Amino acid sequence: MTTEHARQKPAATPTDESAVLEVTGLDVHYGPRRRRRRALHDVSLSVAPGETVGIIGETGSGKSTFARTVLGLVRPSAGRIVIGGEDVGAYGTRQWRRLRRRGVVQYVFQDPLRSLDPDLTVEESLSEPLLIQGVPRQEAADRVRTFLARVQLSEDLLDRLPGELSGGQRQRVSVARALVTEPKLVILDEPVSALDSANRVQILQILKDLRAAGTALVFISHDLGSVAGVADRIAVLYQGELVEVGAARDVITDPRHVYTRLLVGSAPTLRTASADRAERDRLRALLHA
């Protein structure tokens, strides 16, 4: 009963000193006062060092809002965000920039053109965050090559611009750039959603391999199948609220919330747990009742 309750409606977690990300009671609204719309309500989530947490939910459930708020791009109307022990709630633009520059938190977006500067070569893009941190030039060059290999890209691409790469190559560069400083936390918002299935599988494998490096990942996707193989824990967002959080295996094999059951039942890659059409219709009716 207690575990069920914990997974049904995650209670505000007590402040965990060791967490790399601690979000408590997050509320986000959009729009002017008279037409305010709620995008997130009372979201609490804590991410441990080196942990991969998947956040899943349908389009419009608030996933990108969560990512953007944690990255300081959207201001919450309530709640507390602690990143690497720093309460970033009152941070202004400059403090946020400094936090990102120190390499505490990095990001990968669905469209790599949003996370890469179109005028920087692959080499410049990857070495920039290292040089900003004061890593000596030669060491930075070595590190860039190491990470290029980790994302399975050839050194021949070092002098290319993002516009001269394929979508899959660009997203690998974004992943390498986010990880090259070995940050404490990387937020990935739909990192594989725009890729073909071969690239998707390869990048998911790369993310899985990189988990061991000690960087915590928040991996956001509308596709439970993508998250399932990578995440240690899965958090389910439904209409702006976290309705279920648990170990990935538990959430997939024994989903508690009706919406999670529907998601699991609809994921073609989780066929073993896949519900038949009648069951899905039944769950959908329950959800919209």
Ligand X SMILES: Nc1ncnc2c1ncn2[C@@H]1O[C@H](COP(=O)(O)OP(=O)(O)O)[C@@H](O)[C@H]1O
User: Which residues bind to ligand X, rule: CB under 6 A?
Assistant: 30-31, 39, 57, 59-65
Q: Which is nearer to ligand X, 62 or 246 (CB)?
A: 62
For residue 85, the partner it binds in Mg ion, ligand X, none, with Cβ less than 5 to 8 A by kind, is none
Least spacing, CB of residue 285 vs ligand X, in Å: 23
226 binds Mg ion (CB under 5 A): no
DSSP the chain: -HHHHHHHSPPPPPP-TT-SEEEEEEEEEES-GGG-EEEEEEEEEEE-TT-EEEEE--TTSSHHHHHHHHTTSS--SEEEEEETTEE-TT--HHHHHHHHHTTSEEEE-SSHHHHS-TTS-HHHHHHHHHHHTT--HHHHHHHHHHHHHHTT--GGGTT--GGGS-HHHHHHHHHHHHHTT--SEEEEESTTTTS-HHHHHHHHHHHHHHGGGT-EEEEEES-HHHHHTT-SEEEEEETTEEEEEEEHHHHHHS--SHHHHHHHHH-GGGGGGPPPHHHHHHHHHHHH-
Q: Is position 221 an interface residue for Mg ion (rule: CB under 5 A)?
A: no
Closer Cβ to ligand X, 31 or 136, answer by number: 31
State in angstroms the smallest separation of the CB of 111 from Mg ion: 11
Residue 231 CB partners (closer than 8 Å, separation 6+): 52, 53, 54, 219, 248
Identify which of residues 25 and 163 has a Cβ nearer to ligand X in the complex. Answer: 25
- Residue 45 near which of Mg ion, ligand X, none (CB within 5-8 Å, type-dependent): none
Pick 64 or 106: Cβ nearer Mg ion: 64
Residue 226 CB, shortest distance to ligand X, in Å, is 14
Query: CB under 5 A: which stretch of 55-63, 74-82, 132-140, 260-268 binds Mg ion?
Result: 55-63
- 65 counts as binding Mg ion under rule CB under 5 A: no
64 interacts with Mg ion by CB under 5 A = yes
Quote the least distance from Cβ 260 to ligand X, whole Å.
15
Q: Which is nearer to Mg ion, 103 or 240 (CB)?
A: 240
Q: Which does 110 bind (CB under 5 to 8 A by kind): ligand X, Mg ion, none?
A: none
Choose the stretch contacting Mg ion; rule: CB under 5 A; options: 29-37, 62-70, 85-93, 135-143. Answer: 62-70
Site residues (vs Mg ion, CB under 5 A) = 63-64
